[in-house]
Amino acid sequence: MTPVIVRTREELAAARSQVEGTLALVPTMGALHEGHLSLMRQARRSAGTVAVSIFVNPLQFGPGEDFDRYPRTFPTDIEACAAEGVDLVFAPSREVMYPDEPQVTVQSGPMGEVVEGAARPGHFDGMLTVVLKLLNLVRPDVAIFGEKDAQQLAMIRRMVADLNVPVRVDGGPTVREPDGLALSSRNRYLSVPERRTGLALSRALRAGADAAAEGPDAVTAAARTVLDKAETADPPLALDYLVLVDPATFAPVAGPGQAVLAVAARVGATHLIDNVHLQLGKEH
């Protein structure tokens, strides 16, 4: 089944008016992979109608980042949506999403200035702005985001709660390659040697998870041992951060309880992120 493809606000409003029952939205920037497809399947289990948005959002790319070269694969994206039985695809242009230079945007606050936000200033402001616009335009009952972007998911949940947006936000589990690399549209940038180095992220997280029963210091030490070795590999890994944080606030954690071990690094010109949820002080 080929999904209905709409590109303007008027076309979207007309298509949305025809939806009966519940609607689930999977926001994406395209270049769809199995991780996105798993979110679509989750959306189908959550609602009678599934919508996917495809929009490479310029507001969340900083100077010198990969906006211009970010993969755009619209024909194959539509084929993937069709294979998953997606009902509606919203694929707006930049002019549709931002007809004028936006004067009022979402400010991510202190939570948007730490961890990934510290490495990419302004990123979460741009991300939250476009997500709020998409939620207002599509008006889904459920919106589904990948847990690989753990800080993004936590911030969207906070925005929805703080601004009383009438939508349920669900997370979808991270999908990995057989070798452990978390699926990402940016993985296609990696050369074979770079990919080999990039596997250190998932190995570090597994090492940290194995030490969860021993407490926070043991978790970060185990993960850091793996990353230290990768920093001397050829090509080398350049670590941006390794943090152990609260899953809802991304504030540092130092005692027993729920936590996220999050890591980000650059291999060559490619920015990679990954994370794992832990129960500190207990067997993981």
User: Which CATH number does the domain housing residue 233 bear?
Assistant: 3.30.1300.10
Rg, the chain, Cα only: 19
> At residue 240, what is the residue type?
D
% of residues, the chain, pLDDT over 70: 99
Cβ proximity of 128 and 57 under 8 Å: no
Q: Considering the domain boundaries, does residue 282 fall inside one? A: no
Q: Which domain holds residue 222?
A: 187-277
Whether residues 222 and 265 share a domain: the answer is yes
Tens digit of each residue's pLDDT (9 = 90 or more) over 67-81: 999 999 999 999 999
Number of domains, the chain: 2
- With a cut of 50, say whether residue 284 has pLDDT above it: no
Q: Is 38 known to sit in a ligand binding site? A: no
Q: Considering the domain boundaries, does residue 149 fall inside one? A: yes
Q: Considering the domain boundaries, does residue 177 fall inside one? A: no
> At residue 253, what is the residue type?
V
Tens digit of each residue's pLDDT (9 = 90 or more) over 191-222: 999 999 999 999 999 999 999 999 999 999 99
Whether residues 42 and 147 share a domain: the answer is yes
- Burial annotation 2-37 (CB, 10 A radius, 16+ → b, else e): ebbebeeeeebeebbeebeeebbbbbbbbbbbebbb
pTM for the model: 0.95
Q: Is 204 known to sit in a ligand binding site? A: no
pLDDT grade, residue 1 (50/70/90)?
A: confident
pLDDT reported for residue 281? 86
Whether residues 78 and 138 share a domain: the answer is yes
Q: Considering the domain boundaries, does residue 239 fall inside one? A: yes
Whether residues 121 and 194 share a domain: the answer is no
Q: Is 32 known to sit in a ligand binding site? A: yes
Q: Considering the domain boundaries, does residue 182 fall inside one? A: no
Whether residues 197 and 233 share a domain: the answer is yes
Q: Considering the domain boundaries, does residue 87 fall inside one? A: yes
Q: Is 152 known to sit in a ligand binding site? A: yes
- With a cut of 60, say whether residue 251 has pLDDT above it: yes
Q: Considering the domain boundaries, does residue 116 fall inside one? A: yes
Whether residues 128 and 167 share a domain: the answer is yes
Q: Considering the domain boundaries, does residue 38 fall inside one? A: yes
Tens digit of each residue's pLDDT (9 = 90 or more) over 252-278: 998 899 999 999 999 999 999 999 999
Whether residues 164 and 53 share a domain: the answer is yes
3-state helix, strand, coil in the chain (%, to 5): 40, 20, 35
Q: Is 161 known to sit in a ligand binding site? A: no
Whether residues 131 and 251 share a domain: the answer is no
Which residue among 36, 123, 271, 284 is the active-site one? 36
- With a cut of 90, say whether residue 282 has pLDDT above it: no
Mean pLDDT of the chain: 96
Whether residues 196 and 166 share a domain: the answer is no
Instruction: Please state whether beta strands 142-146 and 168-172 pair in parallel, antiparallel, or not at all (unpaired).
Output: parallel
Whether residues 74 and 151 share a domain: the answer is yes
State which of 172, 204, 229 marks the end of a domain: 172
271 is catalytic: no
Q: Is 141 known to sit in a ligand binding site? A: no
The CATH number of the domain holding residue 96 is 3.40.50.620
State which of 110, 140, 172 marks the end of a domain: 172
% of residues, the chain, pLDDT over 90: 96
State which of 127, 149, 172 marks the end of a domain: 172
pLDDT reported for residue 254? 82
